[in-house]
Structure 1
Amino acid sequence: MIIAANILAICLYLLAAGLQAAYLLNKIKQPKTSILLGIGIIAVLAHTYSAVHTIYSEQQIDLGFFRVSSLIFCCIAAINLISILRRPTSNLLVALFPLAALSIVVSSLASPVRGISVASPGLFSHILISILAYSLMTIATIQAIALALQERHLKGHHMGGILKALPPLQTMEQILFELIWIGMGLLTLSLVTGFIFIDDLFAQHLVHKTFFSILAWVIFAILLWGRHQLGWRSQTAARWTFVGFAALMLAYYGSKFVLELILS
């Protein structure tokens, strides 16, 4: 069943991304939102099934680099589908869905790592909230990249291709800060649940995660303050988003990459 779910999710992710890409390249008319949502929902459900059954078994979670990456991209795809209902963000499917499909392929080929016990509901909630926070901030970073490119091309008076199909600059900014506000809320909950349910967040094997997570929180907090008090926009907002995202990814991926892919 897991293999079948993987194949189904990959095919549907690529189909939805292909339809939207064909529209952006002026090959077809804009696909109906309901069609993209239908394809995307089935893909996400299949991806969720395979990711959960790959990671979770017998009250243990395999938090391997590639396994968690697949779950994060599953959350990213789901969040993007939800955002389509409120904002014109369907163009993000072109980038996000192929990455989600790739994450499934890599996860299915990766070797399992020793799982950790999740008998504690508190620890499980901390892990889940952290994954959701990473997912939202990843989408925010992709949004920031699109925003920065859009403004640069607008100033150069040569908008074209995919960038021409993006929503207005002001709408792009609103979407970015909505994502960051929600992501900050989840990141705050992640830190709070970590301090509550993990015995010693500053233990040697956790101190780097704690440091970079707090650093990311501070960076995003400064960005939101700058937006509210100083009116930071587009390029400035994008740069702060990139720095905050880099710190957040170092909190998890930095140590995972070294421990699992280099030292192993």
Structure 2
Amino acid sequence: MLLATIGFVATVLYFTGGALLMQRLRLAAAGGRASTRSRIALFSVWGGAILLHALIIYSFSFSPGGPGMGVFGIVSMTAWIIAVFLFLWSLNHPIHVLGIVLLPFAGVTVALEMALAGATPMVDVMEPGLRAHTLLSMIAFSLLTIAAIQAVLLAVQNRSLHNHRPGGLIRALPPLSMMDSMLFHIIGWGFVFLTAALITGVFVWDDVMTRSLMHKVLFAVIAWFVFAILLFGRFRFGWRGRKAVRWTLAGFAWLVVAYVGSLVIVEMMMPA
């Protein structure tokens, strides 16, 4: 009963955080400026949601009496990592607008984990090497998810400015150059963790082959090359704007195929 209450409160806090972010964006679009008190309220709600979500993840996936890490547990943990990174970055960078989408998503994953924990096959990640590989993969996917949403916002902002129709919400976003810089900052860190995940994958190759997840490796390697080309193009040729957005979304699409495809196989093809 206590765990159910914690899960419910975490879900409510995530959605409340998303609503507070939307309110701040509307205020900025109208030319206003959020007060210090509203900022404190936002990050208090957001931080509370993260802490309660962490308790849920521990109770379900890591505690001795928990059901283990199922498919929805993996999705929930990924959403938690996204919420944590976005929270930390938002303390010093105007990137919190992405939370309008990502915080409610995290709330949905909490609700799904609470409702469906134990209903899907458990993933065995007890081996230290496999655990490290899994964690690095989840961090990489989380960071590049943030980058993909940042790229979508950048594309919308870029189109509006080029069409000379900068609506209120567009005016509330940071300058285009800052949005572009933040995008590549996030991609850079995501690429580092994706590289580390692929390197650690070499040491758990037997587990990968046993689980018939060769397709995951292939798609992840393709995504790695896409992001490598994008970063090279950025630093060598100064890629930005539409080209950067297209390459970011292409790399993320390959990563989604790798990530979601492996989850589907865990759920549908492995014995419970």
TM-score using structure 2 length: 0.88
Structure 2 residue 42 is matched with structure 1 residue 41: no
Structure 2 residue 181 is matched with structure 1 residue 165: no
Describe the shift of the 1:64–1:119 C-alpha distance in structure 2 as closer, same or farther (beyond 3 A). closer
TM-score using structure 1 length: 0.91
Aligned with residue 213 of structure 2, among 198, 201, 206? 206
Runs (5+) with no aligned partner, structure 1:
none
The alignment-based identity, stated in percent, is 34
Shift of 1:91: 1.5
SS in 2 for 1:176: helix
The letter for the 1-side match of 2:103 is F
Aligned with residue 30 of structure 1, among 23, 31, 34? 34
Shift of 1:161: 3.4
Matches within 5 A, 1:160-239: 160-199=167-206, 201-202=208-209, 205-239=212-246
Describe the shift of the 1:75–1:61 C-alpha distance in structure 2 as closer, same or farther (beyond 3 A). farther
Structure 2 residue 106 is matched with structure 1 residue 100: yes
SS in 1 for 2:121: coil
Shift of 1:124: 1.3
Matches within 5 A, 1:1-264: 1-26=2-27, 30-32=34-36, 33-58=39-64, 62-112=68-118, 113-199=120-206, 201-202=208-209, 205-257=212-264, 260=267
- Number of residue pairs the alignment of both structures matches: 264
Alignment RMSD, CA only? 2.4
Counterpart CA distance in 2 for 1:100 and 1:46 is: 12
Counterpart CA distance in 1 for 2:101 and 2:57 is: 20
Counterpart CA distance in 1 for 2:33 and 2:237 is: 41
Counterpart CA distance in 2 for 1:196 and 1:119 is: 14
Describe the shift of the 1:257–1:201 C-alpha distance in structure 2 as closer, same or farther (beyond 3 A). closer
